[in-house]
Copies of this chain bind each other. A is one copy, B any other.
Amino acid sequence: MQQEHRECIDMCYACAAACDHCAASCLNEQDIDMMRACIRLDTQCAAMCRLAAQFMALDSDYLSQACRLCVDLCKACAEECARHEHQHCQACAQACNACADACLKMAA
């Protein structure tokens, strides 16, 4: 696997794990009413990250397009997570931003 692919795959899977963990943790928070958008985006972002990672590891002709869509999801999820002070939200925002950066380069 090319080194650039490998790094972006790692970012995508790290982001998927952070999103899943954030969604599950939000579902346990007392202020769940505030976390609706966060849970919604976490779930979609995790799924998209897994697809982008799969397409990169498969060296797909469509990996640029998948990465571009992944950038959009990651940015939206990062923006929402950054609004919340929960540790899992802050960690997720960071993972999303890192993944968005990596996917943006990959999509270019």
Q: A59-B24, A62-B72, A65-B69 are known contacts. Are A32 and B43 too (CB-CB below 8 A)?
A: no
A81 within 8 A of B: no
Which one of B39, B46, B47, B65 contacts A72 once the chains associate, using CB atoms below 8 Å?
B65
User: What is the minimal beta-carbon distance from A70 to any residue of chain B, in angstroms?
Assistant: 10
A55 contact set on B, CB distance < 8 A: 44, 47
Give the size of the chain A interface in residues (CB under 8 angstroms).
41
A53 contact set on B, CB distance < 8 A: 13, 16-17
User: What is the minimal beta-carbon distance from A9 to any residue of chain B, in angstroms?
Assistant: 5
CB of B17 within 8 A of CB of A9, answer: yes
A46 contact set on B, CB distance < 8 A: 54, 57
A→B interface (CB under 8 Å) = 1, 6, 9-10, 13, 16-18, 20-21, 23-24, 27-28, 32-33, 36, 39-40, 43-44, 46-48, 50-51, 53-55, 57-62, 65-66, 69, 72-73, 76
